[in-house]
Every structure is written in structure tokens, then in C-alpha cells.
Amino acid sequence: KAIRDSKGISIIITEQYARPVMPIIDYGYILENGSSVLMGTREELMDNPDVKSAYFGV
């Protein structure tokens, strides 16, 4: 976030494991087989029951 704020740029992070990056994202996209299947703010993604089940085992 410091780089984004100081340089005024966006950064794309690609990560197979969502849990480690969730605290640092503002907005995320979930891809399956190369296609975007879900997108939203960190809060929207964390509150989504499908995301919780598929990526966080909840």
C-alpha cells in the first residue's frame, strides 16, 4: 500500500492462495480457467459465502 500511495499506481498480485494477500488488497478478482468469475472489494469477497467455502474452508 505504501508503494501504491507514494507512487500513485496500482499493483496486480497473482496468487494461488488467497489468505495471505487478503489483508493488503483493496479490490480483487477471482479467476477460474483464465476467466473472471467474481470480483469485489476485500470486504465483499470476504463476506461472500462461495469465496469463504472455496478459498478459506469456512
The pLDDT assigned to 49 comes to 92
- Residue ranges of alpha helices (H) inside 1-58 are 2-7, 42-47, 49-56
Q: Which domain holds residue 19?
A: 2-56
Separation CA 1–CA 45 (nearest Å): 19
Residue 19 DSSP code: T
CA distance 58 to 49: 8
Number of domains in the chain: 1
d(CA 43, CA 23): 10
Whether the predicted model's global pTM rises above the 0.75 cut = no
* pLDDT tens figures, 18-53: 888 888 889 999 988 989 999 999 999 999 998 888
